[in-house]
Chain A
Amino acid sequence: MFPCFPGSLAGPARIVGPGLKPIVRAGPFLQEWNTKDMKFELTEEQNLIRDMVREFAEKEVAPSAAIRDEEERFDRALMFDRLGELGLTGIVFPEEYGGAGADYLSYAIAVEELSRVCASTGVTLSAHLSLCANPIFLFGSEEQKQQFLAPLARGEKMGAFGLTEPSAGSDAGGTKTTAVKDGDNWVLNGTKIFITNAGDAETYVVFARTDKEAQKHHGISAFIVEKGTPGFSFGKKEKKMGIRSSPTMELVFENCRIPGSQLLGELGQGFKIAMKTLDGGRIGIASQALGIAQGALEAAVNYAKERKQFDTPIAKFQGVQFQLADMATQIEASRLLVYNAAYKASAGLSYSQASAMAKLMASETAMRVTTQAVQILGGYGYTREFPVERMMRDAKITEIYEGTSEVQRLVIGSALTR
């Protein structure tokens, strides 16, 4: 339904430069141009989901967004439990695992709408669903799905994802946390940092090195660890620039013993699980960035219509209109990329590149648009009386987590030059 851009062609597009051999364009351009599939309308269900989430976000989430940011306070009842009641915590999973059986586009729309008013609430859902529930759905055994996925999908338990370490960020192969087999158990030791939802979440997907001898990407495995397991504690809570209502903490494992049944996927498959999980996570973060940008644009438009200078609403000035036009155009381009990646994920097509492009574009757009929104609101925009400075602080993280913009360019670039 969202095959990308129209070309005048039925096969792969070819670009021929002077003196160059033809190169085949990669990515969405490769898709065959098929008029009957070129539908940009959302389905009735997707529209209903957007209306529902928007109404919920505006009525219940927005009113406390500024004060939660100010107090750096996570409100579990509002930011997670309510999402569970509305069926948002398991959007994409089948009903037999407690999900709603909807598609990734519906999920993207939900994160977008939440982030439009509160990026912290948006990332709470994204980290829970994309980073914790999704790898269990994709790589878990039937028993693991029943035991761990179903309560996550139903919103009874909240999820988190532990990959990043002091020495392993963009370089996930640098993982130093270890898991050593002891009888039927695994014993974990190490520290994870910058973990979204940590402390409040009950279920964690954690990566640890199980083979010190193996090449660095091959010796990593994934585990499911539950809060309350002896030897599993939380370190310091980060004081962040943005998404301050979303908790970010360290995970500390000190001889943390978990049953062998909590190995997720196969031994040594951890790097692959992490990369596949992050492909999906990028759709969530791209949607979050999209929502932040949309919220900032709306705030800027509303302000520009009200604010008078030289006896004229500033929205009447071309200088302001041009800025708003650029903001809206970039947001719409981001939206098409995000929805295209979500469509591909739902359709079972390869979406690694599409989600990297979507995240790169949407996060950089969010940063640019929120900065412009602050500029349009001027002195007021710089105060915490208006939401745009919060949006600008929130936008920055979308260029960093779940793969920095540089890593997204690496993903896209390496696929182009393979």
Chain B
Amino acid sequence: MKILVCIKQVPDMESKFRIAADGRWYDQGDLVFRMNEYDEYAVEQAVRLKEQVGGADLTVLSIGSERVKETMKKALAMGCDRGVHVADDTVAGKDPMTIAGIIAEYAKAQNFSCIFTGMQSQDRGSGQVGVLLAEMLGLPAVTTIVDFTYDGSLFSVKRELEGGTRAKVAVQSPAVFTCQLGLNTPRYPTLPNIMKAKKKELGSIPVDQLQKTAILQETERLYFPEKKSGGLILEGDAADLADRLIGILKEKTAVLA
């Protein structure tokens, strides 16, 4: 079985973000980068599937500058067999359709049985790449998965829906899965595996070889929303305050029905 997991390198979300000089994205200087959290669950699930299926081969793919290789190394240390780095210094300006197109161009001839990715990235958060990729490859997409099993012929997954409900879905290979937080417990890359990852294949492909279409949408402006005005301060005696507070909670929130 050939498995693909697509990951993205994103800034640590604890970072202090600044808008870049061109006003279209955040300034990437002085940021600490890590693996998109949703993708960590995707990598873990892919490695578990690989470990379950004897003789499986697991490729990790990421698009970006030379810097994203650091994050790919973590995926290799977690258990991926090889890395495919799509070298692209301008990936931040590309829309989900273009990104999915690049991955599809690489994946179309590879006959992957199973493709995992995070349900969204922590920085752009479009949630579209996995679904668009499935569409381009003509594969079924199962999104927002929170549970995954494979019985040797069928993938059985649970999806998280709104309102606390879940849906159980069975799908045949090949298929694309986008992973929700909590799907599993991503492993730490152990020290021996970090050392072994050094020897794993990690090749680069120039993005020009894989990007066949022009960008369809552009982010015009990135900005911080204006700060809302400060909180409401109620004054008076306790009984009166309680009544007014209940009134506000009923009127403006769903806390009290």
A residues lining the B interface (CB < 8 Å): 44-45, 47-49, 51-52, 55-56, 85-88, 91, 95, 100-102, 106, 110
Contact = CB atoms under 8 A, between A and B. Distances in A.
Given A44-B70, A47-B70, A51-B34, A86 B188 contact: yes
Contacts of B198: 44-45
A102 B77 CA distance: 14
A88 B190 CA distance: 8
A52 B195 CA distance: 13
Task: Pick the 3 closest A-B CB pairs, nearest first.
Answer: A87-B191, A100-B191, A87-B190
A56 B188 contact: yes
Contacts of B197: 45, 48
A87 B73 contact: no
Interface in B186-209: 188-195, 197-198
Contacts of B190: 52, 85-87
A56 to B, nearest CB: 6
Interface in B160-207: 188-195, 197-198
B159 interface: no
14 contacts: A44-B69, A44-B70, A45-B197, A48-B70, A48-B73, A49-B191, A56-B188, A87-B190, A87-B191, A87-B193, A95-B192, A100-B192, A100-B194, A102-B195
A87 B192 CA distance: 6
B74 A48 contact: yes
A208 B110 CA distance: 65
Tell me what chain A mostly uses at the interface: helix, strand, loop, or mixed: helix
A292 B130 CA distance: 43
Given A52-B188, A85-B190, A45 B195 contact: yes
B195 A101 contact: yes
Given A48-B73, A48-B74, A100 B189 contact: no
Interface of B: 34, 69-70, 73-74, 77, 188-195, 197-198
B57 to A, nearest CB: 22
B194 A45 contact: yes
Contact of B191 (A44, A47, A55, A106): A106
Contacts of A48: 70, 73-74, 77, 189, 194, 197
Contacts of A88: 191
B189 A52 contact: yes
Contact of B188 (A55, A100, A101): A55
B173 to A, nearest CB: 32
Contacts of A91: 191
Contacts of B189: 48, 52
Nearest to A95: B192
Contacts of B74: 48, 51
Contacts of B73: 44-45, 48
B251 to A, nearest CB: 33
A87 B69 CA distance: 23
A49 B194 contact: yes
A85 B188 CA distance: 10
Nearest to A106: B191
Contacts of A95: 192
Contacts of A45: 73, 194-195, 197-198
- Most chain B CB within a 10 A radius of its CB, from A48, A86, A95, A102: A48
Nearest to A84: B190
- Most chain A CB within a 10 A radius of its CB, from B188, B193, B198: B188
Contacts of B77: 48
B201 to A, nearest CB: 15
A102 B206 CA distance: 32
A44 B195 CA distance: 10
A248 to B, nearest CB: 27
Contacts of B188: 52, 55-56, 86
Given A52-B188, A87-B193, 14 more contacts: A44-B70, A44-B73, A44-B198, A45-B194, A45-B195, A45-B197, A47-B70, A48-B70, A48-B74, A49-B191, A51-B34, A52-B194, A87-B191, A106-B191
